[in-house]
Amino acid sequence: MGNYVLGEYDVIVIGAGHAGCEAALASSRLGKKTAAFVINLDTLANMPCNPSIGGTSKGHLVREIDALGGEMAKIADKTFLQSKMLNKSKGPAVHSLRVQSDRKMYHIEMKRTMENQPNLDVYQAEVVEILVENNKVCGVKTKIGATFKGKSVVVATGTYLKGKVIIGEISYESGPDGVFPANDLSQSLLNIGVELRRFKTGTPARINKNCIDFSKMEEQLGDEKIVPMSFDNEGNPDIINKEQIKCYLTYTTEQTHEIIRNNLDRSPIYSGKIHGIGPRYCPSIEDKVVRFSDKPRHQLFIEPLGEATSEMYIQGMSSSLPEEVQIQMYRTVPGLENAKMMRPAYAIEYDCIDSQNLSLSLEYKGIEGLFFAGQVNGSSGYEEAAAQGIIAGINAARKIDDKPPFILDRSEAYIGVLIDDLVTKGTNEPYRMMTSRAEYRLMLRQDNADLRLTEKGHEIGLISDERYNKFLEKKRSIEKEINRIRNTNIKCNENINDILRKLGSSPISSTVKLSDLLKRSELNYDNLKEIDIQRPELLDSVREEAEIEIKYEGYIKLQLEQIEEFKKLENKKLSQDIDYEQIKGLSLEARQKLNKYKPLSVGQASRISGISPADISVLMIFLNQNKGRYSFI
């Protein structure tokens, strides 16, 4: 029984969470016959934790995925319940779009997209073995014995690898939401030489909204002016005029904290029952109470899971305490005094790989055609997963055609920062994207993701000619508006000065450029309308880009100079044949790490932990002495 060949594919994707969906869609849209495997089709594109897309820095990732030709933003636009631009009181570099999604509808829409995608077959089956011959992947085998041949394989298993759910003193083998874990694939990975380690994440309880007293909570409304996630939906009336659902804000109390402190001995985190490393930037409520003991309360956001369900998500109260402690704890929160849990909070441990064993294309070093994407790489979050998924899918397809890998660097995209951090620096905990990780964040804004990446998406083959031409028209409109603003003269007269005084700005004494007025901190594109009477009717996004380019011109120029310096080191490519043990002057740690990770450039080498500036100086001297042999400058 078993051991029969059921299909032959170019690309096989193991897992159909957010990473797997983007990987499978990318490879199939690039003309490769693709198969995506998922343990349960009803969990395709599932949101087992917060049912939201985007957020601080994560919104940047979603819009970059969209600019490259991915799907996440489009599905988010179809299924959102509430939309909000975060950090609007701060500069444009940290503005981030976030939507509360209808969890079930997101799954339905993504599943429909996957099922109707040419070149893509979706299977419900558990992959238990990756087949490798001569250090090159050749297919996979399922639990019931079917073999599927493949030229490239993308592993996007999320938190399913040897998944173990932990609630208080109880633990059992499970993936998220009570789905079967993938218990056999871990051993197959070990057998082919893939190193594994153990990470942990968690999720709060779901509460029945019919038992919640919302009058004791603060209403959280969406934006009046909705900005679509997908650049393709700019100006779409179905998106920007959509009716939104309310979310709510409440807080923990001292009584909440007392219950937690009294039961810390029953918390798996503190009792030693959990061995996996958890996320520092998304801690459980137990962690918050212990680590921030001086804080009298913590914010909790009460958010709907969907229009067709009474389940409410308690953001900010992830826990692994016993179920009976959880209900006591939740009932001390204003508005949740009569709370009824529909799903308890839980922690989940899972196997993942050491991401430093990957190349920047997300291919595993030493096993040709084997790619990894998502939480299996040690990251956390749907958006981080999807970003890796589209890159892995693109490169799995390009590998088959012997095309060079598609790699974004740190100066081009948050996706580049994410992957470079994982591959070059590594992570000892679930990695979460943050704006502070991006050195060039003024240039990597969420509003200009299309200007940065649409051309690349078109060159790859994921952006259609129609969408590309639409993008070029928008780009021309932005350039035209910038030139108009820079060349518009505002003559000095009493009427103009009255308007300026009314806006809290100093009057002018001679003719000035409109661009000079726009650079004043108290003035903006909108409130200059009375003065700028000749302005044309334009898309909001066009006006926004023109304003940012002019208002932050000096800062942008400085950052471009910094990027130019960064590129100099990135462009000093390193041969993979260098034996760093033979380079005199390098520290022992530098020789070992450079030989192990084989960086592609001097820039990447400089970001490896343990490589000092002195080591880089020695490396540069070696390269100058061996020009043309070991480096490509």
Q: How many residues does the chain have?
A: 633
C-alpha closest to that of 26 among 18, 318, 39: 18
Residue 625: its pLDDT value, please? 85
Over the stretch 446-503, which tens digit does the pLDDT of each residue have?
999 999 999 999 999 999 999 999 999 999 999 999 999 999 999 999 999 999 999 9
**Is 278's pLDDT higher than 70?**
no
Residue 2: its pLDDT value, please? 57
Q: What is the pTM of this model?
A: 0.94
- What confidence category does residue 127 fall into, taking pLDDT thresholds of 50, 70 and 90? very high
Residue 249: its pLDDT value, please? 98
SS3 for 254? helix
For the chain, state the CA radius of gyration. 26
Q: Which tops the pLDDT comparison, 526 or 628?
A: 526
SS3 for 393? helix
Residue 275: its pLDDT value, please? 61
- Which residues are CB-neighbours of 466 under 8 A, at least 6 positions away? none
What is the overall mean pLDDT for the chain?
Answer: 94
Could you tell me what percent of the chain has a pLDDT over 70? 97
Three-class HEC string of 140-201 = EEECCCEEEEEEEEEECCCCCECCEEEECCEEEECCHHHCCCECCHHHHHHHCCCCEEEEEE
Residue range 264-271: mean pLDDT, rounded: 79
d(Cα 343, Cα 211) in Å, to the nearest integer?
14
**Is 415's pLDDT higher than 70?**
yes
Residue range 609-626: mean pLDDT, rounded: 90
Angle at 286 between CA 281 and CA 292, to 5 degrees: 65
**Is 7's pLDDT higher than 90?**
yes
Identify whether the C-beta of residue 448 lies closer than 8 Å to the C-beta of residue 545. yes
Identify whether the C-beta of residue 539 lies closer than 8 Å to the C-beta of residue 235. yes
Angle at 324 between CA 47 and CA 332, to 5 degrees: 85
Domains parsed from the chain with CATH numbers: 4-201+350-460 (3.50.50.60), 206-346 (2.40.30.260), 485-556 (1.10.10.1800), 571-632 (1.10.150.570)
C-alpha closest to that of 178 among 46, 329, 286: 46
- What confidence category does residue 293 fall into, taking pLDDT thresholds of 50, 70 and 90? confident
SS3 for 279? coil
Residue range 210-220: mean pLDDT, rounded: 98
Over the stretch 447-459, which tens digit does the pLDDT of each residue have?
999 999 999 999 9
In degrees and rounded to multiples of 5, residue 488 shows phi and psi of -90, 125
**Is 133's pLDDT higher than 70?**
yes
Structure tokens at 577: 């044949």
**Is 626's pLDDT higher than 90?**
no
Over the stretch 336-362, which tens digit does the pLDDT of each residue have?
999 999 999 999 999 999 999 999 999
Over the stretch 47-94, which tens digit does the pLDDT of each residue have?
999 999 999 999 999 999 999 999 999 999 999 999 999 999 999 999
Residue 3: its pLDDT value, please? 73
Over the stretch 144-155, which tens digit does the pLDDT of each residue have?
999 999 999 999
- Which residues are CB-neighbours of 191 under 8 A, at least 6 positions away? none
Residue 233: its pLDDT value, please? 96
d(Cα 30, Cα 18) in Å, to the nearest integer?
19
Over the stretch 589-599, which tens digit does the pLDDT of each residue have?
999 999 999 99
d(Cα 550, Cα 92) in Å, to the nearest integer?
13
Strand (E) or helix (H) holding 269:
helix 268-271
Residue 1: its pLDDT value, please? 44
- What confidence category does residue 630 fall into, taking pLDDT thresholds of 50, 70 and 90? low
d(Cα 452, Cα 207) in Å, to the nearest integer?
42
Residue 628: its pLDDT value, please? 66
Neighbours of 47 (CB within 10 A): 23
Residue 276: its pLDDT value, please? 57
**Is 172's pLDDT higher than 60?**
yes
Q: What is the DSSP letter of 277?
A: B
Say which range, 228-232, 301-305, 615-619, has the weakest mean pLDDT. Answer: 615-619
Residue 291: its pLDDT value, please? 86
Q: Locate tokens 């200009």: which residue? A: 448
- What confidence category does residue 633 fall into, taking pLDDT thresholds of 50, 70 and 90? very low
Neighbours of 488 (CB within 10 A): 17
Three-class HEC string of 307-357 = CCCCEEEEECCCCCCCHHHHHHHHCCCCCCCCCCEEECCEEEEEEEECHHH
